[in-house]
Structure 1
């Protein structure tokens, strides 16, 4: 007994509402096993591999590569059970559409290979029929249910009118409520330009101007990580934030870094300037509790939420855009452990495999703009966080050292903070202490613990009337 099951796009976490199909790993007619990867999708934060929820045969793919699918919309239809819906030769059959069906053409009968002859040898007539079918399908969509539901049953079986599930690549698509659609790529209207740089396409080239505002200008939709980053930056602009800068001498800490790299405990671990700065931040932050406090909006009004650990974010530039994965409770890791965690997060982010959990807002983010050859920058807050620290490049400059002028290696730090949570004094003192620690790494020995000795234990008291107080 066979059955059809519809796999709908699941909630991939963190309130994500849609995903773009990047690559199908299966095709119609393929037999898949439980948890076999069937597709790769891109959310607003990361690339995600979707495993098959059942074992069976692929009956229909409800989206093409590049389509944007909303959470809860049909993605794949499976045939499960004893009858997997295949012929004796193991090829999934393509049923002939009923006479008079929208977009159907008796001449486009399926060949033994499962493809129509029109697909193998397209012609003007077949193109005209496909266009007619799409127009009819679009008109039929006007009769869809208001809530986006179709006449199919909850278990994904075909509707009562006998309509068969659409097979991607086989003729024109029938109308289907809730089907994922590619975002339309429309030309963007440009404002008047007094210099005449942006000119509209000529009348005879209107079709060529789709997706372009003018000669040499290409337009593309904003999706995935880039879209999420843009939304985050717009939200960041609503946060009152301030930035303080400090240039400090890091010659001694860089000499220390060379020695630490040669230590046996650091073998196989890449220790960098970013690692040392991250470890210094984790050591100092508990002494500046405002940096570990978040501004949280609630039904009862805004609240200041403080935690006892440091969730440290790292801004990573990828081919898909900027992502900020986090090391949870980074202050509990040693220098070597933090170096390994940062390396893993960076590699995972650049491969597009960061999990939604690792991309949650933390307390403070580090952005190392110095690797791009700049001295400093003014970073913008990641919404939901309290501060972000920009790290500039290390350069040699004449610097006052021990009462004389010497050529030293210096670095500029830029701290941007949420001014609702952190006062200017608090932000400046944190940056001052961080610069002092990087200038003299021996100060790390003073971090942690308490300066007050524990109270002396109470002395034992004896009751003179008790036998224990009588000496023999």
Structure 2
């Protein structure tokens, strides 16, 4: 007899309360094995793949892609004893199994993902009786099981087939998938099908547009929601001060060219950001206040000084802004920092940054220069006291030894928490970073 278990959404990171279902890797009827990846979710920090702790046959997907689910809520039902001899767990009106041990097993979160107790709710199962009672009205068709391609309830028995990203795109562009015919194998609707449907017909006359018809509303969730909450909390908690410095970095760029031909840097992508990271770590030794944090969680407020630098690097990704950390960056050489930055950015770009990689930072660099921007006033990340913005490097006129010359020039801006860092300390740190970038040989004096 079948034995059903419901898989709850696990707590994949400290403090996680909800997550969005990005896409299923399985469908009803599939056999699954222990630790097989079955679903990809997006938390407030990153996209995460979840394995299942049991083997069995998938009987029902309880949540569709795009839905946001609270931690502990059941998202999947599995028959862990298909065709076996185990007695079925009685279910009445969608209640939990009567067997306490089965209920306890069903409510356990995934191993390693926290100890939150889960109250699982089972959808009612339709059971056939030996002698059905007569009915006076037509019996409705059974509700279809959710599928990775199912985008909404069927109309007239037809369900359009589209993968979760295509479904999301159709929602954003206001395209009804029921109006489309999929061009991919099996009639699956593609992104191109959706985009073609969204394009206005060239021969059609312009129709009056109602107010709001050319607007799109996108729910705030996932990384965007977490970023917004963190930035608001920081901006209205820490008194921000921002200072600016323009630096001639011609010597740094010349050193970069020489190092790129050095065997020690063979195969390493040496960027100006790597020099900025090294300068921050060196300058923090002389001004440790920038690597401290204000803590008022106890009865008395404290300033906590960190004797290590977990360097956060703000990275723009398709899912929004993330800030993964380079652990113990202050203990790394320039070549090690360059390698770490390359790994960090490629991982973030692919959307594979783990939630753990974004915890516990002590200082952050945001490289606005990659967008051609000169400078800005960055907001401090919660749990830190300072953030450095690195601007674009441009050829500009500069006075050298009383003569006008064309030099490589960049702008730096430092935002800091005035509760922890005074103007003198912030200015000294920014000046040190600028000096190290203007003349890397200064590093031997630190």
TM-score (norm 2): 0.73
* Distance change >3 Å, CA 232–CA 407, structure 1 → 2: same
Match of 1:223 among 208, 213, 221: 221
* Distance change >3 Å, CA 6–CA 264, structure 1 → 2: same
Match of 2:22 in 1: 22
Q: Deviations over 1:400-438 (max 9, x none)?
A: 212322111111100000111110110001111111111
* Distance change >3 Å, CA 110–CA 367, structure 1 → 2: closer
Gaps of 5+ in 2: 86-124, 162-171, 173-209
Query: Secondary structure in 1 aligned to 2:66?
Result: coil
Q: Deviations over 1:306-364 (max 9, x none)?
A: 12111100000111111111111111111111111111111111222211111114111
Structure 1 stretch displaced more, 272-281 or 227-236:
227-236
When the two chains are superposed, the root-mean-square deviation of aligned CA atoms in Å is 2.9
Using the alignment, how far apart are the partners of 1:437 and 1:243 within structure 2?
Answer: 20
Q: By how many angstroms is 1:21 displaced? A: 0.6
Match of 2:231 among 210, 230, 233: 233
Aligned pairs for 1:41-440 within 5 A: 41-81=41-81, 83=83, 106=139, 108=141, 122-123=155-156, 214-238=212-236, 239-440=238-439
Using the alignment, how far apart are the partners of 1:426 and 1:82 within structure 2?
Answer: 67
Using the alignment, how far apart are the partners of 2:133 and 2:211 within structure 1?
Answer: 43
Q: Deviations over 1:244-300 (max 9, x none)?
A: 100011000100001111111111111100011101111221111101111112232
Say if 2:61 and 2:77, in contact at 8 Å, map to a contact too: yes
Say if 2:249 and 2:437, in contact at 8 Å, map to a contact too: yes
1:31 counterpart = 2:8? no
Say if 2:42 and 2:222, in contact at 8 Å, map to a contact too: yes
Using the alignment, how far apart are the partners of 1:366 and 1:232 within structure 2?
Answer: 16
Using the alignment, how far apart are the partners of 2:142 and 2:445 within structure 1?
Answer: 82
Say if 1:316 and 1:322, in contact at 8 Å, map to a contact too: yes
Q: Deviations over 1:365-410 (max 9, x none)?
A: 1111111112111111111111110011111111121232211111
Using the alignment, how far apart are the partners of 2:133 and 2:426 within structure 1?
Answer: 73
Bigger Rg, which one:
1
Q: Deviations over 1:51-97 (max 9, x none)?
A: 11111111221111111110011111211136269xxxxxxxx9666
Say if 1:361 and 1:382, in contact at 8 Å, map to a contact too: no
Using the alignment, how far apart are the partners of 1:347 and 1:216 within structure 2?
Answer: 35
Number of paired residues? 349
Match of 2:4 in 1: 4
Query: Secondary structure in 2 aligned to 1:7?
Result: strand
* Distance change >3 Å, CA 2–CA 284, structure 1 → 2: same
Using the alignment, how far apart are the partners of 1:35 and 1:101 within structure 2?
Answer: 46
Say if 1:29 and 1:58, in contact at 8 Å, map to a contact too: yes
Q: Deviations over 1:14-42 (max 9, x none)?
A: 31100111101111111001111100111
Say if 1:325 and 1:345, in contact at 8 Å, map to a contact too: yes
Q: By how many angstroms is 1:213 displaced? A: 6.3
Say if 1:7 and 1:75, in contact at 8 Å, map to a contact too: yes
Say if 1:361 and 1:385, in contact at 8 Å, map to a contact too: no
Q: By how many angstroms is 1:100 displaced? A: 7.6
Query: Secondary structure in 2 aligned to 1:301?
Result: coil
Q: By how many angstroms is 1:442 displaced? A: 0.6
* Distance change >3 Å, CA 122–CA 224, structure 1 → 2: closer
Say if 1:241 and 1:416, in contact at 8 Å, map to a contact too: yes
Using the alignment, how far apart are the partners of 1:266 and 1:79 within structure 2?
Answer: 54
Using the alignment, how far apart are the partners of 1:247 and 1:423 within structure 2?
Answer: 21
Gaps of 5+ in 1: 86-93, 128-168, 170-184, 186-211, 448-472
* Distance change >3 Å, CA 64–CA 357, structure 1 → 2: same
* Distance change >3 Å, CA 306–CA 107, structure 1 → 2: closer
Using the alignment, how far apart are the partners of 1:285 and 1:101 within structure 2?
Answer: 81
Q: By how many angstroms is 1:121 displaced? A: 8.8
Query: Secondary structure in 2 aligned to 1:315?
Result: strand
Say if 2:56 and 2:82, in contact at 8 Å, map to a contact too: no
Using the alignment, how far apart are the partners of 1:361 and 1:296 within structure 2?
Answer: 14
